[in-house]
Chains A and B, each alone.
Chain A
């Protein structure tokens, strides 16, 4: 493109930015906080409305905001060929992007009791759970134990290993998404065991939170994901 020879670097960068916005590619997609499909108080008494509001409006929102900022900075660093900054930004992307990914799944993993929250898994996921864990109770016991044992902050997951075609229970630290434990892992159910997920209501008694959260787990959503991945 002839213009490249005469335009100054600054002009070129400006042109690039404008053209990418106009053309819609190489621009940075901005993420937004997803709405909850239920009211903040709808998961009571298992999870208080106070926790749901702060968790969604403050914690998840902060991950979204910081993720967008990190992506913006990454875009600039990539365009400048600043490898050092690109590498430096990876932890902010992992923390905040992971936080956004994980919480977006979490809100769908929960449902009010009158919308199916707590109803045991049925269909092919229900059968798979029976096969791999003996029963839904067996799975719950395992996940609750592993969730309680997470030291510091993290998540406990029920995942599908697409390659091995089996269900797995695993934990991740901080906001690491499940895929960081294995490229073929698809999250079906994630339970947030960061203290912010339960502290105002359950204080230090994480096992009590883990006992009660199952009453609002949305197995219908997990089944949909499972069936989609299996086909």
Chain B
């Protein structure tokens, strides 16, 4: 999924691009069954109900996210809309056999903007570990620069004016069945075994193209 392209207007619960047990042992099938099958599904279903008969009905998901973000004074549909978007983005941020260090242009840019992959890892890890309560940590792209951001609850970089490239869900439901309170272990496992740098690279290309076409 390209960084800023709109997800279809029909608010679909898209399955992850792998089987629900494909991320084991790093993320259990049980977690995917609940996280995708219940939580993500509920955001999509509840969003559909919430926009039915309103001016938001039928609008692209990103349009709903921007207008219900309402400069921080969140309108009712924001939570479901943003969470539907965030979760689809999250599944596609991972792959079986993922993790480790990226290569090529992405590595070069990480080294340019963080001085090293290790420094990026440290910053991303810190953001994910210190987002208090529910939220997300992101690698994002804006003004030709990569940066790490953390957001509370359903907020995402789209509403903050940047292109999301990678995310980790740090709501407790994302890791509690597999790691209980041990969020740092979950983050480490995500970085070591799950990140899809291919997805991140593709999103970066789309973000650069979208940036240059609008400038």
- Which residues of A does B touch, CB under 8 Å? 54, 58-59, 62, 91, 95, 151-154, 173-175, 194-196, 199-200, 203-204
Closest to A61 in B: B181
Q: Is the CB of B133 within 8 A of A58?
A: no
- Which residues of B does A touch, CB under 8 Å? 34, 38-39, 42, 79, 132-135, 152-154, 171-173, 176-177, 180-181
Q: Is the CB of B133 within 8 A of A196?
A: no
Closest to A174 in B: B133
Smallest beta-carbon distance A15→chain B, Å: 35
Q: Is the CB of B181 within 8 A of A203?
A: no
Q: Is the CB of A153 within 8 A of B133?
A: yes
Closest to B34 in A: A203
A153 to B181, CA, bound (A): 14
Given contacts A152-B133, A200-B177, A204-B173, 5 further A-B contacts (CB under 8 A): A154-B133, A195-B173, A196-B180, A200-B176, A203-B38
Residue of B34, B42, B176 with most partner-chain A CB within 10 A: B176
Interchain residue pairs with CB less than 8 A apart (5): A151-B154, A153-B133, A174-B132, A196-B180, A204-B34
Q: Is the CB of B134 within 8 A of A153?
A: yes
Q: Is the CB of B181 within 8 A of A58?
A: yes
A95 to B176, CA, bound (A): 20
Q: Is the CB of B172 within 8 A of A194?
A: yes
Q: Is the CB of B176 within 8 A of A204?
A: no
A186 to B180, CA, bound (A): 31
Q: Is the CB of B153 within 8 A of A196?
A: no
A58 to B182, CA, bound (A): 9
Smallest beta-carbon distance B81→chain A, Å: 13
